[in-house]
Structure 1
Amino acid sequence: MATKEKIIELIDKNQNGIEHLIDKKVQIWTEYVLFSGLWWMGVGLSIIPWIIWFVIRKRDSTDRLLYTAFYIMTIAVVSDILGDQFGLWHYRYHVIPVIPTYFPWDITLIPVTMITLIQIKPNINPWFKAVFFSLLASYLAEPFFNWLGVYEPDNWRYSYSVPLQIIFYMSAHALSKRNQFSKLTIEK
């Protein structure tokens, strides 16, 4: 059994290796990715969909939809980090080099698309929208970003994303329908 000191030494050595690799990644990003066409595309995809959504959103549903969007962002970022760290896929042309996920995908494209689908035609069966979204994301968006060279599915198939995207959408839909919030009061 390893001693506490040995465990600390191994963890610190691993951490130093990670820091060295991150430094190298930032250097490569600065020299080759920053201000490239795909970097600018990522910046645009991070901002423009939110502007469009802000214009077309249902004003009286803004808070509820933003609440849902933050939930979606959290799930997307955590899922993407896990997929990246376990070698299922990786991204190139990061907007922000130290974030292992593709910022526009997790922070803008997925949440904005989902909350837009939630607010448009709210009487359509959510399962239909979930399947539509999952097929769109899995068989159009993922292959497109792969073709561009931004996304590389190492040990992942597009079909694996379909059930996950359906679950993500349905959970976001359910969350968007919640209205059990009490008013905040000042405690004395």
Structure 2
Amino acid sequence: MNDIKEMYDLVVKAHENLYDYWLKNILFTWQWWIGVLLTILPWAIWIKYRRKESTTRLLFAGTVTIIITYFLDLIGTILGLWYYKWKVIPLIPTYMPWDYTLFPVSIMFFLQVKPNASKYTKSFIFSIMSVGFEKLFVWLDFYKEVRWRSLYSFPIYIVIYLIVDCVVRQNYYKELKE
């Protein structure tokens, strides 16, 4: 392989093969439907139970979470540390329910529940729950660890929560109310 075009052609071919596989083997399976549900249902629950006066702040927290988790998930997927077997959308290399729903909605709920509780305690609980769900998804065969173990994620989840908490509590927002 002497030029970049040949490498991109290989990537395009791999995506075409993945898309064909997805159409024939993943689309409309029970695993795919679980992914669709996990993408939509948490947002619907959040819309119903969010603190209306904190919507903008919480959506900002969710957006920051999506950016961070998608970026880290993309790096891990590209480096071959893990992969997802039952994607909702085949052209997104990460698992859409994780990055676009489960992490941001979870963090938004954590931020609005007991807003004056210790952010370190909340980050620790968030991390334990996230690693637990990661292990569940490994067990359900949705997610395959290649050169990664769920426990490696534990400190990363703590840092993600603390970053989002710090960003969302900047002075240009009103304080969260209990």
TM-score band (shorter)? over 0.9
1:167 is the counterpart of 2:159: yes
| Equivalent position amino acid for 1:94 in 2 | K
Aligned to 1:87: 80
Task: Give the distance between the partners of 2:113 and 2:134, measured in 1 at CA.
Answer: 24
Task: Give the distance between the partners of 2:126 and 2:158, measured in 1 at CA.
Answer: 7
Task: Give the gaps of 5 or more residues in structure 1.
Answer: 1-5, 182-188
RMSD: 1.2
CA deviations on 1:109-131 (whole Å, 9 max, x unpaired) are 00000110010011210100000
Q: State how many pairs are aligned.
A: 173
Task: Give the distance between the partners of 1:175 and 1:55, measured in 2 at CA.
Answer: 24
Aligned residues: percent identity?
A: 35
Aligned to 2:145: 153
1:132 is the counterpart of 2:132: no
Aligned to 1:184: none
Q: Which of 178, 183, 188 is the equivalent residue of 2:170?
A: 178
- State the shift of 1:46 in Å: 0.3
Aligned to 2:176: none
CA deviations on 1:84-134 (whole Å, 9 max, x unpaired) are 011111111100001110000000000000110010011210100000011
1:144 is the counterpart of 2:136: yes
SS of residue paired to 2:86? coil
Aligned to 1:12: 5
Q: Which of 51, 56, 66 is the equivalent residue of 1:63?
A: 56
SS of residue paired to 1:168? helix
Aligned to 1:186: none
SS of residue paired to 1:122? coil
CA deviations on 1:152-176 (whole Å, 9 max, x unpaired) are 1110111110110000000111111
- State the shift of 1:148 in Å: 1.2
Give structure 1 regions of 4+ aligned residues with deviation exceeding 3 angstroms.
none
| Equivalent position amino acid for 2:142 in 1 | V
Aligned to 2:95: 102
SS of residue paired to 2:3? helix
User: More displaced, 170-179 or 79-88?
Assistant: 170-179
| Equivalent position amino acid for 1:116 in 2 | F
1:39 is the counterpart of 2:51: no
SS of residue paired to 1:129? helix
SS of residue paired to 1:66? helix
| TM-score, normalization by structure 2 | 0.94
**Pair member with larger Rg:** 1
| TM-score, normalization by structure 1 | 0.89
Task: Give the distance between the partners of 2:12 and 2:95, measured in 1 at CA.
Answer: 20
SS of residue paired to 1:152? strand
